Structure 1
């Protein structure tokens, strides 16, 4: 029984030391990057807000896939390898670059 109590006390002391900083712990820094600052939007050509579907198709070709329209006003998406284009009716309202793979 004494060995069991000694082991429990040793474990308790170790946990206390960890919690109070007596034993050095690894630390990591968290870097927060705003969503609009992620990726290198300058190195990839993207459709501009206000462009028509026809202009986007002429400049970038057919999308790999499409989805929508959904909602009111109708929002649809054109998915390309490097970005997704969001349309409201017939005009670009936003383009989002994909993360590098």
Structure 2
């Protein structure tokens, strides 16, 4: 009975995706660009700041560190590159995310509408 249920879920998800992609085919969706950049060469989790700078060059902007007021709140640094932003905990990459391409790019809907 479980295989049938999982097949139904997959089919429902595929149908929902096809409806969404048809409705937004003329627009650039953030999720589509994020999928493309997921295969792109982004800094990997665990890289040091020195490794990121050696591989990608100097960031266009280094944001002020946040956190660090208490031991359980580590300092988070954020470096902004033209295509992505890198988040560091202390000096190690914890995440890298694609930047919004322009103000017209459609992202996820806000939960408050």
TM-score by length of 1: 0.60
Over the aligned positions, Cα root-mean-square deviation in angstroms equals 2.6
Larger RCO (alpha carbons 8 Å, 6+ apart)? 2
Match of 2:56 in 1: 60
Mapped partners of 2:31, 2:50: distance in 1: 26
TM-score by length of 2: 0.54
Aligned CA distance change for structure 1 residues 96 and 42 (closer, same or farther; 3 Å): closer
* Structure 1 runs of 4+ with >6 Å offset: none
Q: Which has the higher strand share?
A: 1
Mapped partners of 1:37, 1:91: distance in 2: 28
Count of residues paired in the alignment: 71
Larger of the two Rg values belongs to structure: 1
Match of 1:4 in 2: none
Match of 1:98 in 2: 99
Match of 1:26 in 2: none
